[in-house]
Amino acid sequence: MSEGFVHLHLHTEYSLLDGAIRISELPSRLKEMGMDACAITDHGSMFGCVEFFKAMKAEGLKPIIGCEVYVAPGSRYVTPTPSDKQKAYHHLILLAKDNEGLKNLNRLVTAGWTEGFYRKPRIDKELLERWHDGLICLSGCLAGEVACLIKEGKYTEADQAALWYDKLFGRGNYYLEIQSNFLKDQGPVNAGLVKLSRRTGIPLVATNDCHYLKQEDSYVQEVLMCMQTGSKMSDTNRMKFETDDFYVKSETQMRRFFSEIPEAVDNTVKIAQMCNAEYDFNTIHLPKYDVPSGFTDNKQYLKYLVTTGLEKRFKIRGAAADQEVYIKRADYELDVINSMGYTDYYLIVWDFINFAKTNGIMVGPGRVPVRVRLRLTR
């Protein structure tokens, strides 16, 4: 583990049309800078987490799995009125401490897409109360709830919001996030967060909200933002970052910026040491298929379905001398499926297809019907 600084707020190419950090290039850059851990916190998604985990592990670096989630100000089910569109959500960083935290992070992100989507995949505080175990929370960037309240001069409300998160996640699992950029509002917000920390005892953590690998890559990120917003580089009022500070900075740069608050930098290492979630690629992660009564296990039920299907086809096509060939072939295929541990997988897919055909839904070769997929995600 690096003794000095770990990036805990970083957007890869999977923060679509916003992050410009290629996962394939990140580990080598981190090693060049003497770092041996880093977090992934893409916007509202975990699409890049497995690729990131494997790439970091391959270089002997510690991957920290996280996400920058969008939190609705009220219920995730409520669609904001046109006048409230700018306040449709706040940003929040969540990092998985352990595998229970990783499961909860998966649940939160999934619910954001399936239950709370409005312009972005939004969760809410009800979901955080349900699935906060095993997670470390950072207060987020200038779009975070606490930062927004400080910008508005609502210091009492900012204290109350921060204390709510601190109580939910537990002291030592919630941090006020100060960032090392020169945005117009960042200095006053950083100062406000430092004062809030002194009033409440909630610890600080230093981040840089990385969106590109090197400082000279800021132009690439601007191009991505133009693609996202449908703008041109020549547009004077287009959405863009005010500075080119959102790159993967070194420990020296971070310590220089936060020279008066060294504990905020030290806490990045403390948090990284606490985060030990792991992906298991050696186990088949499938739901257990509950077989109907009368069958002892999934293997017996799959054999019954295969045998029944063969008998049906034999009747349709009439008696054939080569029936024994098909039966032996089916037995061989079943042995392969069962020995590989895919029995439940075949039963689950059969269940999809059977439901579709029974309900008049068209089925293509080897694909789960679209309407069935949609039904399962609701």
Span 103-115, pLDDT tens digits: 999 999 999 999 9
| H or E segment and range at residue 174 | strand 174-179
Whole-number Å distance between alpha carbons of 226 and 98: 37
How do beta strands 62-71 and 90-96 pair? antiparallel
pLDDT at position 284 is 76
The domain 26-274 having CATH identifier 3.30.530.20: the answer here is no
Tokens of 350: 């059969």
Cα–Cα distances in angstroms (integers) from residue 91 to residues 110, 145, 163, 312, in the given order = 16, 7, 17, 57
Confidence (pTM): 0.82
Span 133-191, pLDDT tens digits: 999 999 999 999 999 999 999 999 999 999 999 999 999 999 999 999 999 999 999 99
Span 257-303, pLDDT tens digits: 999 999 999 999 999 999 999 999 988 778 889 999 999 999 999 99
Least confident piece of the model among 187-191, 207-211, 320-324? 320-324
Q: 113 CB contacts (<8 Å, ≥6 apart)? A: 44, 121
Residue 76 has pLDDT above 80, yes or no: yes
* Buried b / exposed e along 189-215 (16+ C-beta atoms within 10 A): bbebbbebbeebebbbbbbbbbbbbee
Q: 221 CB contacts (<8 Å, ≥6 apart)? A: 18, 19, 20, 211, 212, 241, 246
Going by pLDDT thresholds of 50, 70 and 90, the confidence category of residue 2 is: very low
Which residues of the chain are in CATH 3.20.20.140 domains? 26-274
